[in-house]
Amino acid sequence: MLYYVNQFNLFKFKSNQNLIMQTMRKGFTLIELLIVIAIIGLLATLAIVSLTTAQQKARDTKRVADLKQLQNAVELYFSQGSTATYPDSTDATWVTFGADIDDYITTIPVAPNNSDTDRYVYATNDTQTEYVFLATLEDTGNAALDGDDDITYTFDDVNLPGWTNLDAVGSGGTDPVAGAEVDCSVAAAYCISE
């Protein structure tokens, strides 16, 4: 029986020694902490990049949808009006343009960031029988850019008869739009026209 007791005590001694070793090692080493922090940083970076891309796509989707709504409103204005013209952009502001089409659209949309660099532009030709809308998208690879208008509408352009007195109105920034062109040939420019 002594043999079993000794063997039991010996086993108990080894168990206590393992227990002592385990209780002495309660924390993490510096290397382990640095690895965990690096992994968390990498995951956070990936999440932020994905979120930024998703936000850009959402803003671009809003821009395309807004221009479609505006196009529908000016087409209704044209078809239901007595003059068979589109709303005049000559010496107009976004507010006066909105007042012209407010019977055909519930809310006049503005660009997501609405500034000189991010705004919607509307222009008509001399007789208000043609128009162009412009929005600048953030993603130059957006599928909407494949089927849009890529013409540059300029003041007194002999290649575009009827566009000799180009006036444009913008949703943000300087109103009316300064300059003598609506450049739809730029890579990120989304334009729809009649």
Number of domains in the chain: 1
- Does residue 167 lie in a domain region? yes
- Does residue 28 lie in a domain region? no
- Does residue 27 lie in a domain region? no
The pLDDT value recorded for residue 158 is 62
Report the range of poorest mean pLDDT among 8-17, 21-30, 112-121: 8-17
| Contact assessment for residue 171 and residue 120, using Cβ atoms and an 8 Å cutoff | yes
The pLDDT value recorded for residue 68 is 93
Nearest to 167 by CA among 130, 119, 118: 130
- Does residue 100 lie in a domain region? yes
Strands (E), the chain: 121-124, 131-136, 152-154, 167-170, 181-183, 189-193
| Cα–Cα dist 186/145, whole Å | 10
Residue-range definition of the domain harbouring residue 92: 35-193
Q: How confident is the model at residue 86 (pLDDT cuts 50, 70, 90)?
A: confident
- Does residue 137 lie in a domain region? yes
- Does residue 12 lie in a domain region? no
Helix H or strand E segment including 7: helix 2-24
Q: Is 181 exposed, middle or buried (0-12, 13-18, 19+ CB in 10 A)?
A: middle
pTM for this entry: 0.72
- Does residue 11 lie in a domain region? no
- Does residue 10 lie in a domain region? no
Whether pLDDT at 10 is above 70 = no
Among left, alpha and beta (phi > 0; psi -120 to 50; other), residue 140 is alpha
* Tokens (6 digits) for 73: 């409103």
Q: How confident is the model at residue 180 (pLDDT cuts 50, 70, 90)?
A: low
Give the number of residues written for the chain: 194
